[in-house]
Chains A and B, each alone.
Chain A
Amino acid sequence: MAYALIALGFVLALNAAGAVNFAHGDLVVLGGALAAFAGAWTGLPSFLLLPLVALGIGLAGILAARIAILPLAARPPEATFVATIALAAIIEQGLTVAMGGAPRSVPPLAGSGTLDLAGLAIGRQPLAIVVLGAGLVAAVWYLLERTQTGRRLRAVAADRAMARAVGIPVTRMVILSLGLAGALAGIAGVVLGHQFLVSPTQGAGHMLKAYIAVALGGWGSVPGALLGALGIGLFETFVAASFGDAWASAALYVAVLAVLALRPQGLFGEPVGRRA
């Protein structure tokens, strides 16, 4: 589910910016780190940290848009790519210096222990993650499909020049998308931070997973990205359970390469057409 949140943010940023945001994974880590620090400092429980982190990383996303994405809108997508790679390195190194290299833990979302639900013992934490994730996905869906702002966001994603021509404030929409993407990344960071600890070098891994999810699900497709992310999560869990983590990752990469070799347009095709 956390993958789904990361991929969701990634695809929002992708559509708005028209280029891959390589720093997205590091925004996730930044979210985890922020939660860890704030948690250790204030002693607040995670569900109170969540909005704080979402706001903070949302702002970080906007900053990323201002620095590395908007100024390069007129240049080829590779320029944005490189700029965000540099931004990713800045965040990673900044965190390394700030954290001193020691991994941190984020407090749990909903306490530990299990709930007894219809005879099944379900961990409170996983349950809380699923409920939270589903809620956020539903909220983003509502925003995109049922509101005027959502229609504008989709218009910018489909055709930036046309959107500008009909009077949509494109720059504001890009900033909004990146802010939203950042908030989702921050929340995912909090969730993952409890499960796996936070360490500065995880960003590239998160980014790669989101990238894969989006590529498999169809470049730029929001439901495709969600399906892709859930698929990756299940795939990894099952392969890892029977063969170990290394094989799970290897199988995932091989699967991606196979898909790209056989279907260069992604599993479900490209809803928005050529982008590069």
Chain B
Amino acid sequence: MARLGPFWMILLGLAPLVALAVLPAFGQRMVTLVGVYALMGLGYQLVFGQLGGLNLAQGALFGLGAYAAALAAPSLGPAALLVSVLAAAVPAALVAAPLLRLQSHYFALATLALASLVNLAAVHAEPWTGGANGLAGFASALPRGPLLLAIVWFCLIAGVMTYARVFAGPAGEAARLLREAPLVAATLGIDGGLWRLVAFVAGGALAGLAGGFSAAVSGVVSPEATGFPIMVVCLTSVVLGGTRHPMGAVIGATLAVCLPELMRGLQGAWLLAYAVATLAVVLWAPAGLAGLVDRVLDRPVPAPAPVGLPETVPTLAGPQVLALDGVTKRFGGVEAVAGVSFEVARGEIVGLIGPNGSGKTTLLNVVCGLERADAGRIALDGRRIDALPAHRVARAGIARSFQAPMAPGDTKESDIARAVATGAPFVLLDEPAAGAGERERARLEAFVRRLRDAGRGVVVVDHDIELLSRLCDRLVCLDRGAVIASGTPDRVRADPRVRASFLGSPVEAS
């Protein structure tokens, strides 16, 4: 994701200035509304665009903000807008824990059910909400007219700039991995749960603020503010503008506010046109209109060159020994890993061999925390890590690469480079040489040696036993989940059971 270019900056800054200087009151009101919806959409981009979470409660949080402003304005004046933010952010934080554990379709359903509850409450809790008639008569306590426009757009510009800045850096890459390859993200030490919580609450806070502003603009708050149509407009405007582009929400909101005015004679037809446009964008321009404009302006879309293996590897502090003791993992009745014990020290390369299905990859998954061990202990310098979630294992000092590239645009080498770049003292490589040509294989071999010389501890899983024999200090051979031999490559290769398991013939009693 690129920084915001000059074209967008000028557009963003000029819009409120021109509106204040030139437009009549009616036009200013529309520009203010654009700012309001853009703020809500910007919050929505955090959850939906960046993390791919289909949150259908953003409209309800917007409504909560609107009601909070209407209720608090008579006693608090302009400070009611802060109450709006809290009225959305606090409930969002409260429901976040159970909600954010859910998979995508359940998350969508749960947020939809929550939104429906809020809507029901708005309609039926008449003593507080005024029922279907809503609340009115509070707006004189809130900022209005040009002042309101200035405040809304100040918040919006600050929000868009912050958003662009944050996601242009490493945070953007972290969000991409969380979205496209959550397993990789976890093994790199990225805490997906925390990310989702922050995005959901921050997005909710923006929705609440937008809701408060909308109450100030219209002077009336009715259950419509919490309804599904608002949610649909928010979702479609973000999709239309560009789900991740910093200007996506602004472009989408502009269309959502201006189209109904342009097509005033045609009743609901604007929504029809709007929905058709959204569908078209989903099908043919996934980056949204802002992305299209970027292409027209010929701003170079940063195509990240695939990263190769680094030339140098720094030496690091941190734990010295990774120890496995009786590690066991069962899937149903099958023991995929059965009581595996071995140690890896810094500056050592250990090869993990064994026939297909012998539990090598499962063992790596258990060590790096993607799977939970059913029995046994895994420890770094005596500190147990077997109960930690993957991102904490990664931060404790274990990185890994995967058999196949997991995120679009990845290569095997970039996957390995990323794992090493976390600075973890221990690196687990899952079939790094599979599918590699002669030259890549040599490069990889040299690189793994560099890792060892820099004092990293390396575990390599591979089928190329010649490569592993040259490379490794020790080999560990697994068969049906259990260690059947370990020691120097020569000794392990000479072991009759290893030969039998590789050749597939039954073990002779000896």
Contacts and interface: CB of A to CB of B under 8 A. Distances in A.
Contacts, number: 116
Contacts of A274: 103
Contact of A275 (B48, B105, B239, B274): B105
B21 interface: no
B153 to A, nearest CB: 28
A67 B279 CA distance: 9
A73 B104 CA distance: 16
B275 A77 contact: no
A35 B117 CA distance: 32
A102 to B, nearest CB: 13
Nearest to A67: B279
A32 to B, nearest CB: 18
Interface in A234-276: 246, 249-250, 253-254, 256-257, 260-261, 264, 266, 274-276
Interface in A55-86: 67-68, 71-72, 75-79, 81-83, 85-86
A86 B109 contact: no
A204 interface: yes
Contacts of B105: 19-20, 77, 215, 219, 275-276
A71 B108 CA distance: 22
B494 interface: no
Given A82-B236, A256-B113, 11 more contacts: A19-B105, A72-B283, A77-B105, A78-B54, A79-B286, A83-B282, A86-B239, A89-B278, A97-B267, A97-B268, A256-B109
A10 to B, nearest CB: 12
B272 interface: yes
A89 B232 contact: yes
Contacts of B114: 253, 257
Interface residues of B, number: 40
Nearest to B272: A93
A71 to B, nearest CB: 6
Contacts of A19: 105
B43 to A, nearest CB: 17
Interface string B105-132: 1101110111011001101100000000
Contacts of A81: 54, 108
18 contacts: A75-B286, A76-B52, A86-B239, A86-B278, A89-B271, A90-B279, A93-B269, A97-B267, A215-B109, A219-B105, A246-B124, A249-B116, A253-B116, A254-B117, A260-B110, A261-B98, A264-B103, A275-B105
B109 A212 contact: yes
Contact of B117 (A77, A94, A253): A253
- Per DSSP, chain B at the interface is helix
Contact of B279 (A83, A254, A266, A275): A83
A94 B267 CA distance: 11
A254 B274 CA distance: 33
Contacts of B274: 89
Interface of B: 48, 52, 54, 98, 101-106, 108-110, 112-114, 116-117, 120-121, 123-124, 228, 232, 235-236, 239, 267-269, 271-272, 274-276, 278-279, 282-283, 286
A253 B105 CA distance: 16
A256 B102 CA distance: 13
A64 to B, nearest CB: 11
A208 interface: yes
A97 B110 contact: no
A75 B239 CA distance: 15
A-side interface size class: 35 or more
Nearest to A255: B113
Contacts of A3: none
B236 A86 contact: yes
Nearest to B233: A89
A78 B112 CA distance: 15
Given A212-B109, A276-B105, A82 B282 contact: yes
A146 B110 CA distance: 35
B109 A211 contact: yes
Contacts of B102: 260, 264
B282 A79 contact: yes
Contacts of B117: 250, 253-254, 257
A42 to B, nearest CB: 27
Contact of B282 (A86, A250, A254): A86
A170 B112 CA distance: 31
B102 to A, nearest CB: 6
Contact of A260 (B109, B120, B239, B286): B109
Central interface residue in A68, A86, A204, by most chain B CB within 10 Å: A86
A39 to B, nearest CB: 24
Contacts of B108: 20, 81
Contacts of A78: 48, 52, 54, 104
Contacts of B268: 93, 96-97
Contacts of B54: 78, 81
Contacts of A253: 113-114, 116-117, 120
B287 to A, nearest CB: 13
Central interface residue in B104, B228, B235, by most chain A CB within 10 Å: B104
A219 B108 CA distance: 13
A261 B99 CA distance: 7
Contacts of B103: 264, 274-276
B274 to A, nearest CB: 8
B236 A208 contact: no
Nearest to B284: A71
A250 B269 CA distance: 32
Nearest to A211: B109
Nearest to B53: A78
Contacts of B276: 86, 90
Contacts of A5: none
A16 to B, nearest CB: 15
Central interface residue in A68, A78, A215, by most chain B CB within 10 Å: A78
B275 A86 contact: yes
